Chains A and B, each alone.
Chain A
Amino acid sequence: MNERGKLDLDPEEQEFLRECAGPPAPGADCPGPGLLLAAQAGVLPEEAAPGVASHLASCRYCQVLVRDLKDREMAKLTTEEERRIRARIFSSAKSETTPWWLPLGRPLPVAAMATLLVVAGVAIYFSRQSTPPRAGPVASKESAPTPVAAALRLDKPPVRLPLASVLIPRGQGGAQETYLRDLGAALDAYRKDDFAEAARRLEPLTTRYPRAVEAHFYLGVCRLFLQRNPQAVESFREAKGLAERPFARDIGWYLGLAYDRAGQPDLARVQLRALCEEPGEYQERACAALGELGR
C-alpha cells in the first residue's frame, strides 16, 4: 500500500520531489515489494495472485523495482545474515531430544568427537548470547545491533584528526591552509552522514595530498557506508601505510571490517588478531570479532 501521504520527508526531499517528481498520483496503490516478488515467483495464494500480477504487468515502477530487487548484488547474503542463519540452525538442532552430533548406534573416533564438541560449544555460545558485547569507543546512531554479529557492526567513527594533519604539510607545494579548508568541507558532509558528498570531496584530496592519512581513512569509512567495500579496502590500506599510533589502531579495525565485508575473512582475521593482542580501545572488540569469525 502506498502511504505517500504519511511519509516523513525532510525539506531537501520535499524540494527534490517538487522539482523532479511532480505531485503524487491520487488513487495509485502499488502492492508492497514482497507481494510483487511473490507474484512473480508464483508463491501467492490463488485468490491474491491475479490482482498483484495484473498490477505488475502494467506498472513500470513495480517492474523496475522487481528487476532491481532480484539483482544478484541486492539479494546477496551478508555475513551478519549468514551468522544468524547458522546460529538458528544449531540452536534448533540442539533442542531436539536426540543428540544431533551422535548418530544412533555409531561410535565416533575421538578426534571427530572432539571436533563435534567444539562445534557444539560454538552453537551453545550463539544460542545463549542475548546481549551484545560492550560497545566500542565510537558512538553509533543505529538501533541495537543483532547480538550474534555485534562485534563486527559498522559504527561511524567521530572526526578525530591526528596532530600531524595540522602541523605537517600534506602534499608537494600544497598550502596547508588550502588542505585544511578542503578537508573541513569534506568532514562537514561526513558529520551530517552525507557519505556520498563526503566521498566526492575526499577522493580528489587523496590524489592531491597522497600522504594525508586522515583523508584516506575517512574516505574508506564513507566507502564502507556506501557499500563500496573493495574500494574501502584500498583506502584503508593506503592509510595504514602512512599512520602512526594511535591512529593506526583505528585504521586496523576498519580495514578488518572492510576485508570482512569484501569477502576476504582471512585478511580480516590478520587485522583483528593484531588488535586482539595489543592493549587498547579495540582489543576486546577485536577478540570478540575473531570469536565470531571463527571459521
Chain B
Amino acid sequence: MDEFEKLYHAYVDAVFRYSVHCVGRREIAEEITSDVFLALYQNLERIDVRQLPAWLYTVARNRAMDYWRRQALEERYAATPAAMAAQPDSLLGGSLFDNHALNPVHRVCLVLRYIQGMNRAEIARYTGLSELQIKGHLQYARQILRKQIRQGSK
C-alpha cells in the first residue's frame, strides 16, 4: 500500500495532464486517471517499477482511444478536409494570436466562447474553472482587447 501511495503521488498529476491532452474534457480525464491507477493497483506486484511512468501513459492512451472509438465520430469527420473550413482571421484573431497581455486561460475562454460558440458551462468542462471564474476571465480579456484595438485604430 505504501508503494502504491508513493507511485500515486509521484505520477497522478502527470497522468491527469496527459489524459486531458488526449480527451479535452476534464471529467473524462478524471475517469481515465482513476482507471489507470486502479489498473496499477491491481497489477502492482507484476509490474517492474522501472517501466513507470511509460506503463501508466500507455494505459491512459489506450483508455483514451477506447473513449474516442465510442464517440460517433466516423460519419462526421471522415469527410474531406474542405468540409471543415478554417475560420478566417478577423480583427479579433489579429489581436488574439501571440498577445502577451493575455494568459493562456484568457485566450482559451475567448476562443471557446466566441469562435467555438460554447456557453460557460461547456467551457467549464474543458478548463476546470467555475462559471463565475470564466465570466471574470472573459470580462478581463475583452477589456484588454478592446483597449488594444482602440489604441491600434488611433
Contact = CB atoms under 8 A, between A and B. Distances in A.
A62 B93 CA distance: 11
Given A70-B21, A76-B13, A52 B77 contact: yes
A208 interface: no
A122 to B, nearest CB: 12
Interface in A48-93: 48, 50-52, 54-55, 58-62, 64-65, 67-78, 81-82, 84-86, 88-89, 92-93
Contacts of B74: 45, 47-48
A31 B41 contact: no
A20 B146 contact: yes
A38 B64 contact: yes
A193 B126 contact: no
Given A43-B61, A48-B77, A78 B84 contact: no
Contacts of B143: 196-197
Contacts of B85: 27-29
Contacts of B49: none
B47 interface: no
Given A48-B77, A196-B140, A61 B25 contact: no
Contacts of B68: 38, 43-45, 48
B148 to A, nearest CB: 9
A92 B30 CA distance: 14
Nearest to A21: B92
Nearest to A59: B86
B97 to A, nearest CB: 6
Contacts of B87: 2, 25, 28, 30, 59-61
B1 A101 contact: yes
B128 to A, nearest CB: 5
Contacts of A50: 81
Given A71-B104, A77-B12, A119-B1, A41 B21 contact: yes
Contact of B41 (A44, A64, A89, A225): A89
A68 B23 contact: no
Contact of A225 (B17, B118, B133, B146): B133
Contacts of A31: 77, 84
Given A17-B92, A47-B73, 9 more contacts: A2-B116, A13-B142, A16-B142, A20-B149, A43-B22, A58-B86, A60-B86, A85-B16, A196-B136
B104 to A, nearest CB: 4
Contacts of B111: 61, 64-65, 68
A88 B132 contact: no
A177 interface: no
Interface of A: 2-8, 12-13, 16-17, 19-22, 25, 27-38, 40-41, 43-45, 47-48, 50-52, 54-55, 58-62, 64-65, 67-78, 81-82, 84-86, 88-89, 92-93, 100-101, 116, 119, 141-142, 154, 156, 193-197, 225-227
Contact of A20 (B30, B81, B126, B145): B145
B140 A34 contact: no
A35 to B, nearest CB: 7
B131 A142 contact: yes
A172 B84 CA distance: 62
Contact of B21 (A45, A75, A197): A75
13 contacts: A16-B142, A20-B91, A21-B114, A28-B88, A36-B24, A37-B23, A55-B86, A67-B104, A92-B34, A193-B136, A225-B133, A225-B136, A227-B129
B12 A47 contact: no
Given A20-B91, A21-B90, A74-B108, A193 B135 contact: yes
A8 B113 CA distance: 10
Contacts of A75: 16-17, 20-21
